[in-house]
Amino acid sequence: MYKVEIIENISKEKWNQDLIKSSYSTYYQTFEYIEGNDKTEYFPIFIQVTDENKKIVGQLGMQIVKTSILYSSPLLRKFLKLISSVTTRGVWVYGPIIHTQDKKQRLEILQNILNANNTIIDKYGLVVLEGFSPPLDNLIDKNYLKLFLDNGYKISKFVTYITDLSKTVDDIWSKVQKYTKVNVKRAVKRDITTKELETFEEIEQVINLHQKWAETKGLGIINQQKQTENLWIKHNSGIEKIFLAFKENQLISSISLSYFNKIVIPTQVLNSYSKATSLGGPALTWKVITWAKELNMKIYDITGGALIEENGTDPDNTSPLTHYKRKWGGEEKIYYNFLKPGKKIKYKLYLNMFQILRIYHNWIGRTRPNKTSKK
């Protein structure tokens, strides 16, 4: 028999210590990520499953998102206020974490977690609950996926690229595609420098770079000072770092990383309008791969996106991004997106409003210069 708990407040140390017992748990299931810094936007939910010996055998952390207000514009603020009653949703990333390799027990534990998800959907009136499986969980099979289907989830495939950091730097470099290597070398020749972020003033530069990206979408960052302080806290948390690329003392690119359980994942990439931007990104990516290698990390998960089947549609234009990431030579790993709608009428309204937002952003993107990128 298993016991399931749905918890809003939990011990950070205990939660993270249990996570580390799994070889595939990452930053995205840590207390720090789930808890976040701003309870006005979302709040955390922790599911834990224990066995008859009170041993933790399953974990899933998620965020209940009220509405995303990091970016906004006068028009968008009015629109978000109008639809706030139908935008509350649950989101998890790279979970659940199940602490057994016994396939029968895994399915039993997973079913308990999915039952808890149903309770959360009802309790918080979610329009949708969405999650992503851990790419490094090698025990996900057709029976595992079938359990999601049987519980009303829609499933789609995603792809990421995994670099094994136990290999030598030369081995890792040998897998990088030729043109990408050329850009890394060209960055050095053109005096593009890379470094780890060190000062609060550099954080302010990153936020300014982020603001420029937002402006290409017709948006602005709400409360830049608060976002600056939050980013500084994250950088000094012990599981997140920011690296910068400069050309003639001007910030041209930044990359934010998470690192937990010896798995490194980039969480955000920003580029400027500079002509050197195309070299800043490759220079930073190689910088952080070698940094992770030097710190004896075991995996660099460059991340990816939706797996676009041949002749399939790509409404979010993810193909160029996944094509770029493939060039770094990581092993292709398939993982899964799970989506369970709440009440049908509410969910349909949510999809229609989301489509309006997509049209708005695409229109803005066509009418404004767009040379920055965010991941």
Mean pLDDT value across residues 113-131? 95
Q: What whole-number distance in Å separates Cα of residue 368 and Cα of residue 375?
A: 19
Q: Are 124 and 178 contained in the same domain?
A: no
Q: Are 193 and 283 contained in the same domain?
A: yes
Closest CA relative to residue 337, chosen from 127, 132, 114:
132
Better-scored residue on pLDDT, 122 or 272: 122
Residue 373 lies in a domain: no
Pair type for strands 299-301 and 154-164: antiparallel
Q: Are 142 and 80 contained in the same domain?
A: yes
Residue 374 lies in a domain: no
Q: What whole-number distance in Å separates Cα of residue 257 and Cα of residue 375?
A: 11
What is the residue range of 41's domain?
3-157+335-367
Tell me the pLDDT tens digit for each residue of 154-179.
999 999 999 999 999 999 999 999 99
Closest CA relative to residue 133, chosen from 56, 28, 7:
28
Better-scored residue on pLDDT, 96 or 223: 96
Q: Are 21 and 111 contained in the same domain?
A: yes
Q: Which amino acid is at 293?
A: K
Q: Does residue 65 register a pLDDT over 90?
A: no
Q: Are 87 and 35 contained in the same domain?
A: yes
Q: What is the pLDDT of residue 36?
A: 80
Q: What is the CATH number of the domain that holds 307?
A: 3.40.630.30
| pLDDT tier, 276 (very low <50, low <70, confident <90, very high otherwise) | low
Q: Are 102 and 176 contained in the same domain?
A: no
| pLDDT tier, 364 (very low <50, low <70, confident <90, very high otherwise) | very low
Q: Are 301 and 343 contained in the same domain?
A: no
Q: Are 171 and 68 contained in the same domain?
A: no
Q: Are 95 and 221 contained in the same domain?
A: no
pTM of the model: 0.87
Mean pLDDT value across residues 103-127? 96
What is the per-residue burial (b if ≥16 Cβ within 10 Å, else e) of 225-236?
A: eebbebbbebbe
Mean pLDDT value across residues 261-279? 83
Q: Are 187 and 48 contained in the same domain?
A: no
Q: Are 288 and 358 contained in the same domain?
A: no
Based on the structure, what is the number of domains in the chain?
A: 2
Q: Are 138 and 182 contained in the same domain?
A: no
Name the packing angle between helices 178-189 and 277-294 (round to 10°): 100
Q: What whole-number distance in Å separates Cα of residue 370 and Cα of residue 272?
A: 10
Q: Does residue 366 register a pLDDT over 60?
A: no
Q: Does residue 314 register a pLDDT over 60?
A: no
